[in-house]
Amino acid sequence: MSSPAVVLRDVRFSYRSGPEILDIPELTIARGERVFLFGPSGSGKTTLLGLLAGVLTGYTGSVEVLGQDMAKLRGSARDAFRGSHIGYIFQLFNLIPYLTVEENITLPGRLHPARGKQTGDVNAVAQRLGIEHLLSRSVTQLSVGQQQRVAAARALLGGPELLIADEPTSSLDFDHRERFLELLFENCALSNSTLLFVSHDRSLAGKFDRQLSLLDFNRAHRKEAAV
């Protein structure tokens, strides 16, 4: 438990023969920290998340997540690691359209027995997020706000050590945004999860323990700007 949630050292990454997207000398996120990551679009946010989640490979340097060196995991082990330890929330359309709300929430646990074992009570999570009355609904009947809360419930179920949220609030209006963030904080605190929250909406930044500007620690763009 003593290892930080995320440690990046000398990480460079570019898509196949494209320009360098990431050049990060050093980045550390402590366990239980709530980090707000911001940067203009195209600054490499999504790429960074792909590295942390173990979806993108082919980087140089080292990426350690929850003490695990991602380079040392082979394909399926990486997928299993992601499924078991990381919760992920997208900006939009987080849910599988042909499953019910409850089936969507429990899917990671069913795909990964390790996650399934620690799966807490679906009802409890649903209740904390205020969606317990929607469990048997089809996801297509939900409003956008409800969908995002279902996505949060899925990401939080089983208390993953790391929760990555990629602009989860940008499709919500102001009130819902505040409420959603509160719920996220509450639940992360409950399961002691580290939260990496990505957004370009700086108005939310003040609520987080730490604010990170990708432009500050990603040198790839500085080089490009110099050219």
Partner 1 sequence: MVLLSLAWKSLRNRLLTTSLTVLSIGLSMALLLGVENVRVGARESFANTISQTDLIVGARGGSLQLLLYSVFRIGQATNNISYESYQHWKNHPAVAWTIPYSLGDSHRGFRVVGTTEDFYQHLRFRRDRQIEFAAGHSPKDVFDVALGSDVAQALGYKLGDKVVIAHGVAAGRGIADNDHADKPFTVSGILKKTATPVDRSLYIQLEGITAVHIDWADGAPPMAGDEIPASKISKENMKVEQITSFLLRCKSRIATLQLQREINTYKDEAMQAIIPGVTLQELWRTIGYAEDALQVVTIFVILVGLLGMLVSLYTSLNERRREMAILRAIGAGPGKIIALLVLESGLLAFAGCILGVVMIYGLSFIFQPIVEQQFGLYVPVQPPTQTGWIYLGAVIFAGLLIGFVPAWKAYRNTLADGLSVRV
Site membership for partner 1, residue 108 (CB under 8 A): yes
Query: Between 8 and 56, whose beta carbon lies closer to partner 1?
Result: 56
Least separation in angstroms between CB 87 and partner 1? 9
Least separation in angstroms between CB 2 and partner 1? 25
Site membership for partner 1, residue 177 (CB under 8 A): no
Least separation in angstroms between CB 128 and partner 1? 20
Q: How far apart are CA 168 and CA 171, in angstroms?
A: 7
Query: Between 39 and 108, whose beta carbon lies closer to partner 1?
Result: 108
Q: How far apart are CA 95 and CA 121, in angstroms?
A: 20
Q: Which of 1, 18, 97, 226 binds partner 1 (CB under 8 A)?
A: 97
Stretch (H or E) spanning 171: none
Site membership for partner 1, residue 39 (CB under 8 A): no
Residues between 123 and 152 with contacts to partner 1, criterion CB under 8 A: none
By three-state DSSP, how is residue 142 classified? coil
Q: 69-101: string of b/e by CB count within 10 Å (b at 16+)?
A: ebeebeeeebbbbbbbbbbbbbbeebbeeeebb
Least separation in angstroms between CB 164 and partner 1? 9
- The amino acid occupying position 17 is S
Q: How far apart are CA 64 and CA 31, in angstroms?
A: 13
Query: Between 2 and 17, whose beta carbon lies closer to partner 1?
Result: 17
Name the E strands within the chain.
Answer: 6-14, 20-29, 34-38, 60-65, 68-69, 86-89, 162-166, 194-198, 210-213
Site membership for partner 1, residue 88 (CB under 8 A): yes
Site for partner 1, rule CB under 8 A: 46, 49-50, 53, 55-56, 75-76, 78-84, 86, 88, 90, 92-99, 103, 107-108, 110-112, 115, 154, 166
